[in-house]
Amino acid sequence: MTAQELSPPDPAGGSRRLLDYRFDIVGRSKLWFTLSLAVLLVGLVSMAFSLASLGTPLRLGLDFAGGTLLDLRFERPVTTDELRRALQEHNLGSSIIQLDTQTGQEALIRMPPLTEQERLAVEETLRQQVGPFERNLVETVGPTVGRLLLRSGLVAVLISFGLIVVYLALRFQWDYAVFAIVALLHDVVLTTGLFALLGLTVGMEVDSLFVVALLTIIGFSVNDTVVIYDRIRENLRLVSRKVSFAEVVNLSLNQTFARSLNTTLTTMLPLLAIAIFGGATLKGFAIALLIGFSLGVYSSIFIASPLLVWWRQRRYGGKGDPDSLPSGAEG
């Protein structure tokens, strides 16, 4: 069996590297943790700035902030000024207006939540003062709807975490499960932080699809972590007890490295295409997934496993392997 290649060194070999692998990932744990902390800091600062300037840590889209959105295609090119003048009649002059830069015919108008009657009145004024149009999109979301969406999203994230912990604790051990969740939290928090940054810099808004994206990221990132854990478990069975836990983890990470990269690449190719060429509705979604999946594969390799090693070394001493403890000492 494969145990052959993982055989312990001959006793005379002394300090020779026990296992043959290319990257010492666990050995540079500090570097990885620092990198993540730096990104976390950027995210937190962005959220703080966003909180100060927008009143919310993220730039909230219609789904969460509530409001009325009109997407109108006029028969002739229009200007923002004439639209604003028409809106002024309804005291909506401060609405956000986006014009399609290419044709100037399509306008996105975002207003505070309007009742159906108010909306129709606004449309009538626009039709009279600016010109006839075709309605592409009408969205009205009451402010309470957003709160409900946000709450059910948060609940969904928490329940997913709970189920994943239980499943992983059953299939592996409870500390594996805990660090998998730490890695997931890492992905969710950093993605959110980066979206706060995108909200500040390019005006990226979060909508209900962002919550879906976070959940998908959780689903995929835990995948990467599980595949690595699976390999660690398998290798632990194959290697001799003299090999430290850190070495086993390093070996497993190296063995699964190609798979992790290739899988992430193949998943990201369609997403990249959607982010660049896809319809506007899916763009933000695809970008969230791209960021989250990258963080997910990073955290699986560079966060979850090194943390597991750190913990086991602390708990079980030098080798980090419960089996290497004197008998009876295991809790």
* Of residues 306-325, those binding another protein (CB under 8 A): none
Chain-centroid distance, C-alpha 222? 12
Q: Which is nearer to another protein, 44 or 236 (CB)?
A: 236
Question: To the nearest whole angstrom, how small is the minimum distance from the Cβ of residue 172 to another protein?
Answer: 9
Say if residue 2 is exposed, middle or buried (CB neighbours under 10 Å; 0-12, 13-18, 19+).
Answer: exposed
Question: To the nearest whole angstrom, how small is the minimum distance from the Cβ of residue 284 to another protein?
Answer: 12
Question: To the nearest whole angstrom, how small is the minimum distance from the Cβ of residue 50 to another protein?
Answer: 25
Tokens 């996105």 locate to: 108
294 touches another protein by CB under 8 A: no
230 touches another protein by CB under 8 A: yes
**Cα separation, 69 vs 82, whole angstroms:** 18
**7-11 own/partner pairs: CB under 8 Å, 24+ apart:** 7/240, 8/239, 8/240, 8/242, 8/243
Part in contact with another protein (CB under 8 A); list of ranges 74-82, 241-249, 256-264, 311-319: 256-264
Instruction: Tell me, residue by residue from 79 to 118, as one string, x for binding to another protein by CB under 8 A and - for no binding.
Output: ------------------------------------xx--
**Residue of the chain from 54, 169, 178, 274 that contacts another protein (CB under 8 A):** 274
Q: Which of 243, 216, 227 is nearest to 305 (CA)?
A: 227
259 touches another protein by CB under 8 A: yes
Taking CA atoms, 20 is separated from 26, 204, 239, 300, in Å, by: 14, 46, 13, 21
Q: Which amino acid is at 183?
A: A
Part in contact with another protein (CB under 8 A); list of ranges 38-46, 51-59, 206-214, 242-250: 206-214
**Residue of the chain from 279, 326, 328, 331 that contacts another protein (CB under 8 A):** 279
Question: To the nearest whole angstrom, how small is the minimum distance from the Cβ of residue 171 to another protein?
Answer: 6
Q: Which is nearer to another protein, 172 or 310 (CB)?
A: 172
DSSP state of 8: P
Q: Which is nearer to another protein, 200 or 297 (CB)?
A: 297
Please report, in angstroms and rounded to a whole number, the separation of the first and last CA atoms in the chain. Answer: 32
Q: Which is nearer to another protein, 36 or 208 (CB)?
A: 208
147 touches another protein by CB under 8 A: no
140 touches another protein by CB under 8 A: yes
**Cα separation, 316 vs 251, whole angstroms:** 20
Question: To the nearest whole angstrom, how small is the minimum distance from the Cβ of residue 323 to another protein?
Answer: 21
262 touches another protein by CB under 8 A: yes
191 touches another protein by CB under 8 A: no
Judged by CB under 8 A, how many residues of this single chain contact another protein? 72
Question: To the nearest whole angstrom, how small is the minimum distance from the Cβ of residue 200 to another protein?
Answer: 26
**Residue of the chain from 42, 54, 227, 236 that contacts another protein (CB under 8 A):** 227
- Alpha-helical segments (H) within the chain: 29-54, 62-65, 80-88, 116-129, 143-171, 174-202, 208-238, 245-277, 280-299, 305-316
Taking CA atoms, 260 is separated from 2, 289, 302, 329, in Å, by: 21, 16, 12, 36
Q: What does 236-261 look like in DSSP terms, one character per residue?
A: HHHS-TTS-HHHHHHHHHHHHHHHHH
Question: To the nearest whole angstrom, how small is the minimum distance from the Cβ of residue 63 to another protein?
Answer: 9
